[in-house]
Amino acid sequence: MSRISSARTWAVFIKEFQQMLRDRLTFAMAVGIPVLQLVLFGYAINTDPRGLPTAVVAADAGPQARSLVAALQNSGYFKLVHQGTSPSEADALMADGRVQFVVEIPPDFSRAVLRGERPAVLVAVDATDPSASGNAIAALGEMGNQALRHDLVGPLRTLQKPPAPFDLRIHRRYNPEGLSRYNIVPGLIGTILTMTMVMLTSLAMTRERERGTMENLLATPVRPFEVMAGKILPYVVIGYVQLAVILGAAMLLFQVPMVGSFALLMAMIGVFIVANLAVGFTFSTVARNQLQAVQMTFFFFLPSMLLSGFMFPYRGMPVWAQHLGEVLPLTHFLRIVRGIMLKGAGAPQLWGELWPMLAFMAVAGLVALKRYRQTLD
């Protein structure tokens, strides 16, 4: 038996390295995915969101009420985006997802504080994602004893002693118990469909190319759109089968409520499935083999999972990361599925999230059709 030759080993190494460099897409993915992870985890992910949009309904304009509003803003956790006297208007903003908190200051708040009557201040929280508001709620508890310390001086100094001069009553809406499964399980519908739909479709065309059956398909009079529709429709059925499994587990095992319309949810999920299948078809026109198709799938799935608000609070990300997240269909789908299942949202309330998914689906479909070739050249 001959000895191991370092020269022969080196020759095989050179050959393999050159072959790897020729596969530019695979090499780019091997470098790009770690870089993408570093950027997203290093700059975009933040588990302590601040500047949460807040609506204040103030029925009192006294100095203590103004000090309370100022204390909210100075804490850094609350960003005042709406101020009025109509609770119904503020509730509508929360139902639409435009504010995270609604603070209601009662009439004669300032007078009741000075009398030592401890008036109640209602703080309503959108608790569909408990992790997004947990630290802000904790900050409210600490703020109670500090918000009015500059107003309660002189003969009023005794009011600075515990308990706080007013009572904060926290009302967690849509998820009163703050259960994380109410947020995670509906979100899993989107993440599972994103990964499987993109991957299955991207593998469909590359598998035929590798097996040599693409020539038979291209020899037929089938047009690009017909090929695309024929490849996508079977996976739409598979997507709904996956959906039935996830929804069944959500309701039977995890007791996630279905407050809104089931038919509306099915329609919205159909749009989301087709949008992801269009992405997968586009990847299949770029990838040369199934390995590249899988790599491109994860390159799309990773930012979708991290920037959509599924794993980390969306409002905790920097503005540039939020803009990137708005491009991804999963971001809008998570708001839709949570809005229907937990808030009972209707079609008019969800239109602002539906049209970006429709636009994404149209663009992905057009790119796939443009890249599709009637020949193998």
Percent of the chain whose pLDDT exceeds 90: 12
C-alpha to C-alpha distances, 60 to 32, 110, 132, nearest whole angstrom = 55, 7, 29
Closest CA to 288 of 373, 218, 345: 373
* 3-class secondary-structure state, position 125: strand
Element (H, E) at 206: helix 181-211
pLDDT tens across 6-26, in order?
787 788 778 777 776 676 666
Q: Which range is least confidently modeled, 136-140, 206-210, 319-323?
A: 206-210
Q: Does the pLDDT value for residue 84 go beyond 60? A: yes
Across residues 151-173, what is the average pLDDT? 73
Burial-class residue 148 by CB neighbours within 10 Å (0-12, 13-18, 19+): buried
Strand partners, 172: 125
Amino acid 2: pLDDT: 61
Q: Alpha-carbon distance 56 to 125, whole Å?
A: 12
Q: Does the pLDDT value for residue 1 go beyond 50? A: no
Amino acid 358: pLDDT: 93
Closest CA to 239 of 257, 204, 266: 266
Of the pLDDT bands very low, low, confident and very high (cuts 50, 70, 90), residue 163 is confident
* Strand locations in 140-283 (E): 167-173
Residues in contact with 118: Cβ distance below 8 Å, sequence separation at least 6, in sequence order? 112, 163, 164, 165, 166, 167
Across residues 319-334, what is the average pLDDT? 91
Percent of the chain whose pLDDT exceeds 70: 87
Across residues 329-345, what is the average pLDDT? 91
Q: Does the pLDDT value for residue 30 go beyond 60? A: yes
Across residues 54-81, what is the average pLDDT? 86
Element (H, E) at 126: strand 120-126
Across residues 261-279, what is the average pLDDT? 91
Q: Which range is least confidently modeled, 234-238, 325-329, 333-337?
A: 234-238
* 3-class secondary-structure state, position 48: coil
DSSP 8-state symbol, 358: H
Of the pLDDT bands very low, low, confident and very high (cuts 50, 70, 90), residue 307 is confident
Residues in contact with 108: Cβ distance below 8 Å, sequence separation at least 6, in sequence order? 60, 119
Residues in contact with 142: Cβ distance below 8 Å, sequence separation at least 6, in sequence order? none
Burial-class residue 260 by CB neighbours within 10 Å (0-12, 13-18, 19+): buried
Q: Does the pLDDT value for residue 210 go beyond 50? A: yes
Across residues 69-73, what is the average pLDDT? 86
Amino acid 156: pLDDT: 62
User: Cα 366–40–305 angle (5° rounding)?
Assistant: 55
DSSP 8-state symbol, 317: S
Amino acid 267: pLDDT: 92
Segments of the chain assigned to CATH 3.40.1710.10: 52-173
Amino acid 359: pLDDT: 94
Q: Does domain 52-173 have CATH number 3.40.50.2300?
A: no
Question: Does 109 or 37 have the greater pLDDT score?
Answer: 109
Q: Alpha-carbon distance 88 to 93, whole Å?
A: 9
Average pLDDT of the chain? 82
